[in-house]
Each structure stands twice: as structure tokens, then as C-alpha cells.
Amino acid sequence: MDSLNEKLAIITGGTSGIGLATAAILLKNGIQVALVGRSLDKGEQAIDVLKNHGSNCSFFQGDVSSVSDCKHIIEKVIEKYGRLDILINSAGLYMEKMIAEVTEEDYDHIMNVNVKGTYFMCKYAIPELRKVSNGVIINIASDAGINGNLLFTTYWASKGAITTFTKALALELSPYYIRVNCVCPGDINTPLLQEQLAKERNPITALEEMEKLYPIGRIGQPEEVAEVINFLVSDAASFVTGAVWSVDGGLTSC
């Protein structure tokens, strides 16, 4: 696609779904990938899956809801690779609850992963991104970061924070030639969505009803979001920063 060879990308939440699909595409383009996740077993499984896409991939265990883990992850990646060019914050949690039912523990759990994890991974990555030319940060939010919806106040608040944080950070880092963009997927066929559907009385009917919400008539695939991320990290997007990219089959246009 362009001169991406030898670059290093960190992908949090990289062991499944959008993160894993993004890793596969970046590896095909010659980018080294450092996956980050909480589960060592899932990390090893992801590395095994990615073997067919490229060998320059490794796994770093850590929990982005912990500020010390965020710092440690960056340190360990730099120790191994000696550089950082791209940070993709894909780790995230989902919750569907009315505000009357949300506990302080619920709130903290969502915010610590979705907001604090994104924020502090950026904080500790920035000094390393400043050392390379044209560093890139991609934050994964959601259609929930654009439009509100019923029963999702905590999740929506966390994703809305990511979209506005992205814009503010893009302005702060533009003097250092670090581009910061946000991707907002709609419902995507990931393990997280399958878990959500499995809680329904009739998962097939629930999926059909979900698909009716989309002007394009279906939900998305992880690879479709990954292709947008791949564009945003490439030199083809060199004039794109502070942008919020909807990848939602037209959902937020309704």
C-alpha cells in the first residue's frame, strides 16, 4: 500500500474481533504488531491464528484499566522492538443497563477500560511516537460515540468521551506530526456481539431485528472496520487527523 515496512503497531484488545482483524491486515502490509490483552491463553491463540498473515507479531499481557499496566506495556514493547509508530486502542467493554440499575462498580468498570485505558495508553505512547516521523493513534469508539440510545447511558458516555478526546488530542499532537483519529463501528460480528445475542430468548430473531436497523440491511464484519483502520494508519491518510469515521452501514445517518 505504501512505505509501512518496519513500523510497529500496538493493538489493545487485539486478541479478537476488530483488533485481531486489524492485526491480520497490518501484518500483511509488513507492519510489526504487538497485541495487548488480559488473557494469556487468548493471546497465544491469536498469535497462532495470525501466523498465516506474518511472523512479526507478539503478545503482551496487560489490563489497560490499570494505569501502571499501561505504562508497563509501552515499556515492554519498546524494550523488545525499540520503537513505536502506531497505537490502536481497541480494548473495550459493553454494558446495557438503565441508569437506575447502574452501580458505582458498573460505572467504574466501563470507564476504566473504555476511557481511562484509552487515555493512559495514549499518554505513555506519545513520548515514543514523537521519536518517529508521522506517528499515528487510532481510537475505537462506536456509533454510541455519536448518537445516544435507550438503555446504554454508561456505555454511550464512555464512547462519547473517546470521540471528543480524539479531537482534542489531535489538536494537541499536530505540532509533533502525530495524527489522531477515531473509528466508530456499528454492530459488528465479533465475539462480544455473539455474547450479547446469546443472552436473547431467540438469538436468530434478535439478529434479524438488529439488521433491520441498518440502511445497508446487515451488520458489519471485523475485516470491514479493519480496512478503514488500515487506511487511517497509512500515508494515504496523511492529511486526516481529528476525524471521527463512522463504519456503521448508515446507522448514524438515520
CA 216 to chain centre: 23
Q: Which residue has the cell 445516544?
A: 148
Spatial CB neighbours of 102, under 8 Å, sequence gap ≥ 6: 95, 153, 154
CB atoms within 10 A of CB 197: 16
**Residue 136: per-residue pLDDT:** 98
pLDDT of residue 139: 98
CATH 3.40.50.720 residue ranges of the chain are 8-185+222-245
Could you give the residue numbers annotated as active site?
155
pLDDT at 2: 40
Domain 8-185+222-245, architecture per CATH? 3-Layer(aba) Sandwich (3.40)
Cell (9 digits) for 213: 436497523
CA–CA separation, 173 vs 103, rounded Å? 35
Res 3: pLDDT: 44
Per-residue pLDDT of the chain (254 residues; tens, 9 = 90+): 344 458 999 999 999 999 999 999 999 999 999 999 999 999 999 999 999 887 799 999 999 999 999 999 999 999 999 999 999 999 999 988 999 999 999 999 999 999 999 999 999 999 999 999 899 999 999 998 998 777 789 999 999 999 999 999 999 999 999 999 999 999 999 998 999 899 999 999 999 999 999 999 999 999 999 999 999 999 999 999 999 999 999 999 98
Exposed e or buried b per residue across 119-147, where buried means at least 16 C-beta atoms within 10 angstroms of its C-beta: bbbbebbbebbeebeebbbbbbbbbbbbb
The cell numbers describing 109, all together, are: 468498570
Q: What is the largest CA-CA distance in the chain?
A: 52
Query: Would you list the DSSP string of 177-232?
Result: T-EEEEEEE-SB-SHHHHHHHHTSSSHHHHHHHHHHTSTTSS-B-HHHHHHHHHHH
Report the SS3 class of residue 166. Answer: helix
Q: How far apart are alpha carbons 64 and 116 in whole angstroms?
A: 8
> Would you state the pLDDT for residue 151?
78
